[in-house]
Amino acid sequence: MKIGNALNTHVKSGKIISYADDTTIVVARDSLLDLKLTAQTANEQFKNWCNSNQLVLNTNKTVCMYFGKSKQEIMSSTPNVSLYTKFLGTLIDDDLSWTHHIAHVCKKLSQAYYILLKLKSCVDKDALRTVYYALAYPHLSYNVMVWGAAME
């Protein structure tokens, strides 16, 4: 069963984006009030669909993100509003600045660099290259088309 297709027929208040076990509901409206009401409706429709299909919604991983003006108003009146979240392996923030994702990549690269530094005296260059491609390169290359130009 294609979950995205089944959800699209049940959740009519938002656009469904599904990949593997990640599901995102996108809601866009002109007014803040209409946005909140539509998002709440989509959330309820999704919860009902999960219940009717014996699926458990992980509320610890369920967040609401808002892109636009009037952030303070929506942050104070909507539960589970987050400034950033992981979307298909990339940390995305509400300003689309990629700051959180770049910090995450830098941390991973720092860890890989430390390991490479320790291995440098123990293994040959081919082994170091293999370790680099295993530990550092995936973080540099994954989704770089999206976040790579952020520092320009």
First to last CA, the chain: 43
**Are 95 and 71 in the same domain?**
no
Residue 67: which domain range? 1-82
Residue 23: C-alpha distances to residues 48, 115, 140, 148 (Å): 15, 35, 25, 24
Domain boundary among 82, 108, 142: 82
Whether 77 and 112 map to the same domain: the answer is: no
What is the arithmetic mean of pLDDT over 93-118? 93
**Strand bridging mode 84-87 / 15-19:** unpaired
At which of 25, 59, 82 does a domain end?
A: 82
Answer whether residue 71 shows pLDDT above 80.
Answer: no
Distance, CA of 129 to CA of 134 (rounded, Å): 9
pLDDT tens digit sequence for 32-55: 888 888 988 988 898 899 899 898
The tokens describing 117, both together, are: 């530094």
Strand partners of residue 17: 24
Q: How confident is the model at residue 80, as a pLDDT?
A: 73
Kindly state whether residues 45 and 117 are assigned to the same domain. no
For residue 105, what pLDDT is reported?
94
The length of the chain in residues reads 152
Whole-angstrom distance, CA of residue 136 vs CA of residue 119: 14
Distance (Å, whole) CA 116 – CA 119: 5
Domain end, chosen from 56, 82, 108, is at 82
pLDDT band at 135 (very low <50, low <70, confident <90, very high): very high
17 and 54 in a common domain: yes
Alpha carbon separation from 136 to 16, 88, 93, 104, 124 (Å, rounded): 32, 19, 23, 12, 17
Please determine, for residue 127, whether its predicted confidence score (pLDDT) is greater than 60.
yes
Neighbours of 71 (CB within 10 A): 14
